[in-house]
Chains A and B, each alone.
Chain A
Amino acid sequence: MTRIRRAFLAISVMALTIGAAQAATLRVGIQDDPDALDPALSGTYTGRFVFASLCDKLVDISPDLKIVPQLAESWDWAPDGKAITFTLRKNVKFHDGTAFDGEAVKFNIERMKTMPDSKRKAELAPVSGVEVIAADKVKFTLSEPFVPLLANLSDRAGMMVSPTAAKAKGADFPTAPVCAGPYQFVERKSRDLIRVKKFADYWDAGKIGYDEVVYYYVGDSTVRLSRVRAGDLDLAERIAPTDLKTVREDANLALHAGQGLAVSHLMFNVGNGEKANGPLGKNEKLRQAFELAIDRNVINRVAFNGEFLADNQMIPPSSPFYSKAHKAPARDVAKAKALIAAAGMTRVPVELTYENALADGRVAQIVQSMAGEAGFDVKLLPLETTSAIERYLNGNFEMYIGNWSGRADPDPTLFSFFGCTGSQNVNKYCNKDLDAVLTQARGEADEAKRAALYEKATDIYLTALSSIPIYHSNWFFAARKTVGGITMYPDGLLRLSGVKPTN
C-alpha cells in the first residue's frame, strides 16, 4: 500500500515538474485560414491578425487612433507636405539576424510598389521615391501632399520584411515569412495552424509574455467559443453577438470588447450602367425617403442583439474626424411616404443584392420589411460571395449591402467610396465639390482644419446618400482569465506586446 502511495506521489511530482517546465503557449482561435503570409500580398483580416505578432511596422496606431512610433521612433513632415523623414529605431534585427536600417526600409517600400501582384500599390501610390539619408534616417518623397500616408504605414504597407530573406526566397517567401516582430515564424499547416515562437532579439523583448503562440483556424464562431470554454484555446477572436451572453456568464472567461472601424452600408447604383436607371438610382429624395424608412437601432437589436453600433456615417464615432453635428435621423415613415408621393410615386421597386452570409441576410430581411411599410418594394437577391463581388465591381446591382473593413484614417474610406476616381466607387457617384474637399483634406496636416473639411464632406455625402451607412460592427474577443494584458484596438488586431499569462 505504502509502495503504491509512494509511486503515486512520485508520479504526481513528476507530472507537476513537467507541467512547470512546459513552455508557455498562447492558443488563439481565428475565423479564417489566412491567405499568403507576405505583407505585400495579404488581403485578409486573419492574415493581419497573424502579422501583428510576426511583423512590426514603421508606425502603429494607439487604441484612440493616434499614430505612435514602432520601428520608426519619430518623423518630420516637410513644410510643403511633400516629403517625410523617418528616424528609425536602432539595434533592431529581423528574425534572420539581418539588421533593420534605412536600406531595409527602402527595399521594402520599393518591393511593395513594384511587385507585380502587390496589393499595397494603391496605399503607397503617393510615394514617388525613398532616399536613405543615414543608417537610421530615411526620407520618403511624395508626388502630392498626403497626410493619410502614416495611417497606411500603420498597416501592411508599413510592415518590414527581411530584405535578405525576401531576395533569397522570392515567390516562396509567404511559406516562411521573416520580419522583425516579437514572434518569429515556425511552421504553417495549411488550414490548420500557424505556429510562431518568441524572438529573443526583439527590440522590446521584455514585453513578450509567451514562448510560443499558435493560431488555430476554427471557422465557426460558436465552435471557437466552445473550445475556449473547454480550455482547448486561450483566446478566440470575433465572437458572434448572439454568443456574448455565454461569455459573460462563464466565470473562467473574460470578454474583451472594442469599437471597430468597419462600416456596413446600403450602396445605391447611381451612375454605373443600366442598373443605375431605377428610381432610387436617379432620385436622391427617394434615397432620403429610404433612409427615413429604416430604423438602424431595430436592425442592430434584431440582427446583432444590440451589440453593434447603429450609425449614419462611414467613419466610426471613435475617429477624431467623426462629425458629431450629423446625427442619425429617426425613423419617420410618414415623411418617407410624403417624399415618395412628392416624386409622383406610390410604390418604389428596388432590388437588394448581398453576399449570402448570416448577418447580411438578416439585415436584408429587416430592411425589406421596414422599407416595405413606407412604400418600397425591396426584392432580395442573395448571392454566393465571389459572384456577388463580381456584380458589385461591375456595377451590376441597384442596391448592395457593402461591408468595408475601414481604416485608421478617414481618407481611404471616404475617398475610395466618394472620390470620383475612388477604388470602391463602383456605383459611380461623382460630386466635384466633394472631390475637391476630400483632396484638400488629404494635404491638410493640421487636425482641426482637416476635421472641418471632413465635416463639410459628411454634409455632402449624407445629402446625396449614394450610400446609406447602417452600423459599425464591434470587436469581441473571448479569452480565458489566465491571459492578461489584452488591449483592444480599433483595427481589431491582437497586439501581443504585453500579453502575458496571469499566473
Chain B
Amino acid sequence: MTALLLRRLGVALPTLLLVSMMVFGLQKLLPGDPALALAGEERNPEVIEYLREKYRFNDPVPVQYAAWLGGLLQGDFGNSVRTRLPIGTMLAEKLPVTIELAVLSMLIALLLGLPIGIIAALRRGSALDYGASLFGLAGLSIPNFWLGIMLILLFSVHLGWLPAGGYVPPSEDLWGNLKAMLMPALVLGTGTAAIIMRHTRSAMIQAMKQDYIRTARAKGVKERKLVLRHALPNALIPVVTLGTLQFGELLAGAVLTEQVFSIPGFGKMIVDGVFSRDYAVVQAVVLCTAAVFLLMSFLADLAYVLLNPRLRT
C-alpha cells in the first residue's frame, strides 16, 4: 500500500508541474492585454504601464512562471489582480463548496444510476428497461441550465419550498445548506446518473453472461446473491473508472449550474478569470482541480483493489 502511495505521489508531482506549465503557457497565448483589461474605462497610459510592471506582464514568460512557482512553493498563490483579494483565501472559500456540490451530485447520480442500471440489465427488454433508457436519454439530452431554471420556477417561485439559489455554509445552517444544494445537485446528478446507468446496465449484461455466473447458478446460488456478490463487483470496475472521471468533471465543469443557482464555486471563478485575464486565479484553480483529479484517480485505484481480490498482493 505504501509503495502504491509513493508510486502515485511520484507521478502526481511531475503531472501537476506539467499542468501548471501548460496552463501558464496557454494563457499567454490568449489575445488581449491583461493590463488594459485591468485599467478599465479610464485608460491612462501611465497607469497601464505601471500595471504591466507591477504584475510582471513585461517579463519573459519563463521569468513570470518562475516567480509564480516560487510564491507557490512558499504557499502563496498571489492576489487576484482584479479584486486584490488573496487567492489562497478565495480557494479556501470555493473548494469546499465545489466539493460539496460534486459529492452530493455524485451521491444522487449513484443512488439513481446504479439501481436503475442493474434492474434494467436484469429485466432486459421489459417496460422497466425501456423506461430506464428513456431516463438515460432525457438525463443526457436535457440541458442543465434549462432544467435548473424549470426547477427554480417550480420549487422556488411557485411552490416556495426551496431557495432559488445562493449558498449557505453548513457550519452556519446545515438544513439551509442542504436545501440550497438540493436543486443544483439534482440538476448535475441526473446528467451523471444517466451516464452511470447506461454503463452499469451494459456492464451488468456482460457480467451476467459470464461462465462463472452460469456455474454459480447451476450450483444453486440464489439469484439475489448471484447478482450482488458475483456479477455486480465485476460489473462495477468500469463503472468506478467512469465514476471518478465524472467526479472530476463535476469539479471543473459545473459552470452553467453554478451560474443558474448562483453557487460560488470553481466553475464560474475560472471562466471569469479567463475573461478578465486574471492569470493567477486561473492558474490556482486549474492546479487545484488537477490535484483533486489525481487524488480521485488514486482513490479509484484503491477501489479496484477492494473490488478485485486478484489485484491485492
Contact = CB atoms under 8 A, between A and B. Distances in A.
Interface string B296-310: 000000000000000
A119 B39 contact: yes
A219 B32 contact: no
A217 interface: yes
A223 B153 CA distance: 10
Contacts of A230: 152, 156-157, 160, 163-164
A227 B44 contact: no
Interface in A200-232: 216-220, 222-223, 226-227, 229-232
A223 B165 contact: yes
Given A121-B46, A223-B262, A232-B166, A191 B157 contact: no
Interface stretch (B63-71, B89-97, B135-143): B89-97
A226 B83 contact: no
A217 B153 contact: no
Contacts of A249: none
B152 A226 contact: yes
Interface residues of A, number: 51
A219 B268 contact: yes
A116 interface: yes
Contact of A191 (B33, B50, B163, B264): B264
A231 B269 CA distance: 26
A444 B142 CA distance: 62
Interface residues on B, range: 35 or more
Contact of B264 (A175, A217, A385, A405): A217
Given A117-B54, A226-B149, A387-B31, A191 B272 contact: yes
Contacts of A56: none
Interface stretch (A32-40, A57-65, A282-290, A368-376): A32-40
A226 to B, nearest CB: 5
A175 B165 contact: no
A3 interface: no
B32 A387 contact: yes
A393 interface: yes
A145 B34 CA distance: 36
A231 B268 CA distance: 24
A404 B40 CA distance: 11
B80 to A, nearest CB: 7
A191 B268 CA distance: 8
A424 B39 CA distance: 13
Given A43-B40, A386-B277, A387-B32, A192 B164 contact: no
Contacts of B31: 384, 386-387, 390
Given A189-B93, A226-B152, A386-B276, A393 B47 contact: no
Contact of B41 (A38, A43, A223, A229): A43
A216 B264 CA distance: 10
B84 interface: yes
Contact of A229 (B38, B157, B163, B262): B157
Nearest to A218: B262
Contact of A119 (B36, B42, B165, B259): B42
B43 interface: yes
Interface in B17-40: 30-34, 36-40
A463 interface: no
A440 interface: no
B130 interface: no
A393 B37 CA distance: 11
A193 B168 CA distance: 11
A119 B47 contact: yes
B82 interface: yes
Interface in B246-299: 259-262, 264, 268-269, 272, 275-277
Interface in A118-177: 118-123, 171-172, 174-175
A389 B37 contact: yes
Contacts of B149: 222-223, 226
B85 interface: yes
Contacts of B260: 220, 223
A36 B39 CA distance: 12
A36 to B, nearest CB: 4
A216 B262 contact: yes
B57 interface: no
Contacts of B166: 216, 227, 232
B164 A226 contact: yes
A43 B42 contact: yes
A38 to B, nearest CB: 8
Interface string B150-188: 001100110010011111000000000000000000000
A19 to B, nearest CB: 15
B112 interface: no
A384 to B, nearest CB: 7
B72 to A, nearest CB: 19
A27 to B, nearest CB: 9
Interface string A287-321: 00000000000000000000000000000000000
A307 to B, nearest CB: 22
A467 to B, nearest CB: 16
B51 interface: yes
A361 B156 CA distance: 32
Nearest to A385: B275
Contacts of B269: 191
A117 B90 contact: no
A389 B54 CA distance: 21
B47 A121 contact: yes
A381 interface: no
B160 A231 contact: yes
A36 B82 contact: yes
A12 interface: no
A34 B83 contact: yes
B262 A227 contact: yes
Contacts of B83: 33-37, 174, 190
A154 B240 CA distance: 60
A38 B269 CA distance: 21
Given A222-B149, A390-B32, A117 B264 contact: no
A226 B261 CA distance: 10
Contacts of B163: 230, 232
Interface string A379-404: 00000111101100100000000001
B275 A191 contact: no
A171 B40 CA distance: 19
A171 B264 contact: no
Contact of B259 (A35, A219, A231, A390): A219
7 contacts: A35-B83, A121-B46, A174-B83, A188-B85, A191-B264, A227-B166, A386-B31
Given A172-B84, A219-B259, 11 more contacts: A117-B47, A118-B47, A121-B42, A190-B94, A226-B152, A229-B156, A230-B157, A230-B160, A386-B275, A389-B37, A390-B32
